[in-house]
Amino acid sequence: MSDTAPRLATYDDLLGLAEDIHAEVLAGQIITSPAPLPMHARAQRALGRFIGGPFDDDDGRGGPGGWWILPEVNVRLAPHDVVRPDVAGWRRERLPAPWNTRPIDVVPDWICEILSPSNAAHDRVTKAKLYAKHGLPNLWLLDPAEPVLEVFQLTDGRWTCVGSYDDAATARVVPFEAIELAVDALFPPKH
């Protein structure tokens, strides 16, 4: 009988996978997930436009700016915890130039996970606990099937829900209160 502990995966193990495999390392285990549904991809693109537009792309051109908003980048929270959030954002003063960095070793200021039927519990429980453990201050959970946006802030190491919005809402949503967000723009159109 061997007393050798199993080897824990790191970012280097992700590099050995095919590029088209969506994978993360959580608690030293490689976790893979299928390609997203079109409604997931649509929500991700909408976040890039309606959050990334004014806070990243429009910096100095009329938007509030001050952020980098990036989809699907590897973020190393710890050696055995490497996540790939659907969309993540960093205040520029905390991450001046992320362009040639992989993985990013700075905890984001905001993450939005887009829920899919196959991963909702994983994002709501496993990843939310991991994000809290590493001090992520703002977490959005976007459910295109419902359609609902839930907004959480970290308070004393625990998530506090600071808002829930359906597709009828127009709101100033933390941490992007500088703009009014028409929440329905984040979801696929209704038929």
CA dist., res. 24 & res. 11, Å (int):
8
pLDDT, tens digit, 9 for 90 and up, residues 146-160: 999 999 999 999 999
Lowest mean pLDDT among 9-13, 17-21, 108-112: 17-21
Give how far Cα 45 sits from Cα of 8, 9, 50, 72, 183, Å: 33, 30, 9, 11, 14
CA dist., res. 191 & res. 173, Å (int):
27
* Per-residue pLDDT band at 1 (split at 50, 70, 90): low
pLDDT, tens digit, 9 for 90 and up, residues 39-69: 999 999 999 999 999 999 987 677 899 999 9
Q: Which domains does the chain have, with CATH numbers?
A: 36-186 (3.90.1570.10)
Predicted local confidence at residue 168, as pLDDT: 96
Beta carbons within 8 Å of 131's beta carbon, 6+ residues apart: 77, 83, 111, 139, 154
